[in-house]
Amino acid sequence: MIALVVNGKRHAVDVAPDTPLLWVLRDNLGLTGTKYGCGEGVCGACTVHIDGRAERSCQISVKDAHGKRITTIEGLAKGHPVKKAWLAEDVSQCGWCQPGQIMQAAALLREKPAPSNADIDSAMEGNLCRCGTYQRIRAAIHMAAREAGKGGVR
């Protein structure tokens, strides 16, 4: 059994130690908000926070995630400025890439509360969107930064 702390809750999972964290989140814990895209670390659909940093959960084994603080899209507060801005800007199209985009954006804003367009492009470049929502993603991140600056939840 491997112990994991996900969204503040402790879990014990009975899987091989080299199982990707993404499989465990989705198949063992039922946290299907985190998406499978490429499985190779190049699309960003599976992005979660590990100890507050955006990481690709398809590239991390449960063994390596043990003892760390894991947050998925389900664990990001409902009133989080990024979630609110995503709705306000109507960012999603098919939606598949969006949980990963949101997690990546939330991590960016934690590091850079008022990112420039260049900061956003650099932080988000590894999160692919086949529907081409990039302009709305950028607008939503700017909106979230403005709202967070007014004292919203981060």
**Residue number with CB closer to ligand FES (74 or 153):** 74
Least distance to ligand FES, CB of residue 40, Å: 6
Q: Which of 84, 125, 89, 130 lies closest to 108 in space, CA to CA?
A: 125
**Residue number with CB closer to ligand FES (95 or 113):** 95
48 C-beta neighbours (distance < 10 Å), count: 30
Q: Which of 27, 117, 26 lies closest to 35 in space, CA to CA?
A: 26
Least distance to ligand FES, CB of residue 125, Å: 13
**Residue number with CB closer to ligand FES (14 or 40):** 40
**Residue number with CB closer to ligand FES (124 or 145):** 124
SS3 for 55? Answer: strand
The Cα 2–Cα 57 span in angstroms is: 16
Asked whether 102 and 36 are in contact (CB, 8 A), the reply is no
Least distance to ligand FES, CB of residue 101, Å: 7
Least distance to ligand FES, CB of residue 111, Å: 20
Least distance to ligand FES, CB of residue 139, Å: 15
Asked whether 91 and 137 are in contact (CB, 8 A), the reply is yes
Instruction: By CB under 6 A, name the binding residues for ligand FES.
Output: 36-39, 41-46, 56, 58, 92-98, 129-131, 133
| Residue 62 vs residues 5, 8, 37, 66: alpha-carbon distances, Å | 11, 16, 19, 6
**Residue number with CB closer to ligand FES (102 or 144):** 102
